[in-house]
A and B are shown apart, each in its own frame.
Chain A
Amino acid sequence: MESLPASTWFWLVVPNLIIVLLSLGRLIYSRRGDS
């Protein structure tokens, strides 16, 4: 069974994951003290 090289997986997933998490972080930070 063929697999995708680890470096390809890494660059496909990690930068994308980071920017989504950073955006979520900003969202949560902007809501602080609201509730």
Chain B
Amino acid sequence: MDPIITTFALYIIGMMAIGYYFYKANEDTEDYFLGNRGLNAPVTALSAQASDMSGWLLMGFPGAIYAGGFHAMWIGIGLAVGTYLNWQFTASRLRYYTEVVDAITIADFFENRFRDDSRALRMVTGLVILIFFTIYVSSGLVAGGTLFENILGVDYDIAVYIAVVIIALYTFLGGYLAVSWSDFIQGSLMFLALIIVPVSVVSSMGGLGELWGAVAEMNPDLLHAFRTVEFFPGEGAVWQTAGEGVNAMDLISNIAWGLGYFGMPHIIVRFMSIDDGKQLPVAQTIGVTWVVITLIGAVFVGIIGIATFAEPLGNPETVFLELLQEVMNPWVGGVFLAAVLAAIMSTVDSQLLVSSSALTEDFYKAFFRREASDGELLFFSRASVIAITLIALYFAMAGGRILDIVGYAWAGLGSAFGPAILFSLYWKKTNRYGVLAGIIAGGATVIIWNNFFAFTGLYEIVPGFLLSSLIIFVVSLLGPETDPEIAEEFEQVREMARD
């Protein structure tokens, strides 16, 4: 019996069992999408973090570190700071605001917050979610495919199909409660993997000094946060320094990843589901500590990879997978390989859920079936999980670098929704025209920049976020006086969120 495959199979069965248990327990769509705002602080914290950190954390990011050394850690620092700011400034206000205006999705929030009876905000929000989450989900399928290809030794195409079946079945069954609880377990497993693996490998090497020494043998610049190193597998010197000094454009682009957080529906929706808003500081402390430790762990995984493999890896994003198989006991390795699947599933399931709620609430119910029963909506939302998965599967078949696919979706969502959320929560005068224009401008800038201005080397989230903010500000400023009812509601939320 192969230990890796056995552990893996047991893990998947366990997660499915959780899904099935909650499948029985889901009574309506608020249960399915929000778990009826009944989660405690640790579950809220870890489910937010596990939904955030996808195959990116255990594959994309360590791969970037493996290929570029410490210079690639700036994305991690940007994300850690972004996570903190998001908990600090978005969580509490959004939790109370969505309760006061009775919203269970981000589209509900915009529509109810601005009393938008035209439905335009809802439609545009739903559309942006569908476009960028389909891309995002496809990055999860690429990661799942790479994972199964690597451990089962099957072709990538077949591996992607296996990943799809497992992920879709699991999301389809459980809904939000299952996703939140299993995210909690998956988040814990990712955390343990990213502590135990680096610590045990470094100690078996004989300490950090040995690690730095082995890395410096490849290229001492890999140890510098401000020197750019490029990866050339198959050539003489695999790691080559690309010129002197800091590349400012790179540095800004990497740190700017952190801007994305305020607009990630699958993450901020977690803030809404905590049972008691006063517990948010507890959840924040757990969440931020989790993210800091796992990101540092992921940096070490990439660095250890440089020192470990005699032959450079064909695909740097498999560094964690290869490391587990190379240096860990197969039973332990199997558990931690399951952590990679955990990371992938815990993100894809949340994203499928948000996308299916967009299709269900923002299109189906809003435009076609206003009188639809809860049972009908639940059925439709499950069918839409399958539909979105199939479209994402089509994109995933083309493969690609996980980091790039995630980066595109991340920029799109972050630029479209980040400024809109922040302005809605913090500026009373923000109006629906401003938010509508801002969402469109943010999303469109990312698509245009990615296709026509990539040569600048600037990550598209920077222009997208800035332009969206500017437009919301200007359009809202020119708009009519704020409705007194909306203004009063705004003040009420401000009072509630004061801790």
A interface, CB within 8 angstroms of B: 1-5, 7-8, 11-12, 15-16, 19-20, 22-24, 26-27, 29-31
Contact = CB atoms under 8 A, between A and B. Distances in A.
Interface string B294-323: 011001000000000000000000000000
Given A12-B70, A15-B77, A1 B87 contact: no
Interface of B: 70, 73, 77, 80-81, 83-84, 87-88, 208-209, 212-213, 215-216, 220, 223-226, 278, 281-282, 284-285, 288-289, 292, 295-296, 299, 499
A7 B71 CA distance: 11
Contact of B88 (A12, A15, A26): A26
A23 B73 contact: no
Given A2-B215, A16-B295, A20-B288, 13 more contacts: A2-B212, A3-B212, A4-B223, A8-B225, A12-B73, A12-B77, A20-B285, A20-B292, A23-B87, A23-B281, A26-B285, A29-B499, A30-B499
B285 A1 contact: no
A31 B80 CA distance: 24
11 contacts: A5-B223, A11-B225, A12-B225, A15-B80, A16-B295, A19-B292, A20-B285, A20-B288, A20-B292, A23-B84, A27-B282
B289 A4 contact: no
A3 B212 CA distance: 6
B261 to A, nearest CB: 13
A24 B153 CA distance: 45
B80 A19 contact: yes
Interface of B is mostly: helix
A3 B220 CA distance: 10
B225 A1 contact: no
Contacts of B209: 1-3
Contact of A23 (B220, B285, B299): B285
A25 to B, nearest CB: 9
Contacts of A11: 73, 77, 225
Contacts of A26: 88, 281, 284-285, 499
B224 A27 contact: no
Max chain A Cβ within 10 angstroms of own Cβ: one of B215, B216, B288:
B288
B497 to A, nearest CB: 11
